[in-house]
Structure 1
Amino acid sequence: MRVVIAPDSLKGTATAADTARAVRSGWLDERPEDEVVTVPMADGGEGTLNAFAAAYPAALRVPVTVTGPDGTPVDTHWLHLPDGRAVVELAATSGLPLLGGALRPGTATSRGFGEAIAAALDAGATGLVLGIGGSASTDGGRPVLEALGLTVDAPGAVDRSGLRPLPTGGVVVLTDVTSPLLGPTGAVAVFGPQKGITPDRAPAFEEQLSGWAASLPGVDPATPGAGAAGGVGFGLLAWGATLAPGARAVADVLGLPALLDGADVVVTGEGRFDEQSAAGKVPSVVRALAAEHAPAARVVLVAGEIEARLDDFDAAASLVVLATQTTGEPDDALRDPLRFAAIAGQRLARLVG
Structure 2
Amino acid sequence: MKIVIAPDSFKGTITSGEICDIVGAAAARHFPRAEIVKIPVSDGGEGMVDALLAGVGERIAVEVTGPNFTEEQAAYGILPDGTAVIEMAAASGIMLAADPKRPMDATSLGTGQLIRDAARRGCRKIILGIGGSATMDAGLGMAAAMGVRFLDGSGAEVEPTARGLGKIARIDASVVPGEMDGLKILIASDVKNPACGETGSAQVFGRQKGASRQDIAEIDEWIVRFCGLVREATGKDLLHTPGTGAAGGMAIPLLAFFGADIVPGIDLILDAAGFNEKIRGANMVITGEGMLDGQSLEGKVPVGVARRAKKEGIPVVALVGDIGPDYARAYEEGITAVFSTNKAAVPFEIAKQTSKEDLALLADSLFAFKAMR
Whether TM-score is above 0.5 comes out as yes
Shift of 1:200: 3.7
User: Is 1:290 paired with 2:309?
Assistant: yes
Residue 367 of structure 2 corresponds to 349
2: CA distance, partners of 1:231 / 1:222: 11
Tell me how far 1:201 sits from its aligned partner: 2.8
RMSD: 2.0
Moved more, 44-53 or 166-175: 166-175
Contact kept? 1:225, 1:234, Cα under 8 Å: no
> What runs of 5+ residues in structure 2 fail to find an aligned partner?
154-168
Following superposition, the deviation at residue 31 of structure 1 comes to 3.8
Q: Which residue of 1 aligns with 2:115?
A: 117
- 1:106-156 CA distance string (max 9 Å, x none): 111111000111111112112211111110011111111111111111142
Partner of 1:181: 195
- Give the letter aligned to residue 215 of structure 2: R
1-structure distance, mates of 2:347, 2:74: 34
Q: Residues 104 and 215 of structure 2 are in contact (CA less than 8 Å); yes or no, is this contact kept in structure 1?
A: no
Deviates more, 1:253-262 or 1:214-223: 214-223
Is 1:162 aligned to residue 175 of structure 2? yes
Q: Which amino acid is 2:69 matched to?
A: G
Unaligned runs of 5+ in 1: none
Distance 2:78 2:24 in 1: 30
Distance 2:103 2:347 in 1: 31
Amino acid at match of 2:89: A
1:81 maps to 79
Of residues 327, 340, 347, the one that matches 1:318 is 340
In the alignment of these two chains, the number of paired residues is 345
User: 1:169/1:150 Cα in 2 relative to 1: closer, same or farther (>3 Å)?
Assistant: closer
Check conservation: 1:42, 1:48, Cα contact below 8 A.
Answer: yes
TM-score (norm 2): 0.87
Q: CA 1:172–1:329 in 2, change beyond 3 Å: closer, same or farther? A: closer
Secondary structure of the corresponding residue to residue 18 of structure 1: helix
Q: Equivalent pairs: percent with the same residue?
A: 35
Instruction: Say whether residues 1:51 and 2:51 are aligned partners.
Output: yes
Alpha-carbon deviation of 1:305?
1.1
Question: Distance between the aligned counterparts of 2:363 and 2:247, measured in 1?
Answer: 32
Higher relative contact order (CA 8 A, sep 6+): 1
CA contact (8 A) 1:49 1:87 kept: yes
Pairwise CA distance, 1:100: 5.6
Residue deviations 1:79-126 (CA, integer Å, cap 9, x gap): 222222212211111111112654222111111000111111112112
Q: 1:43 to 1:103 in 2, by over 3 A?
A: same
Q: Secondary structure at the match of 1:106?
A: helix
Q: CA deviation at 1:309?
A: 2.3
Structure 1 CA distance for aligned equivalents of residues 368 and 213 of structure 2: 45
Q: Distance in 1 between matches of 2:36 and 2:90?
A: 30
How far 1:78 moved relative to its partner? 2.1
Counterparts of 1:252 and 1:343 in 2: how far apart (Å)?
31
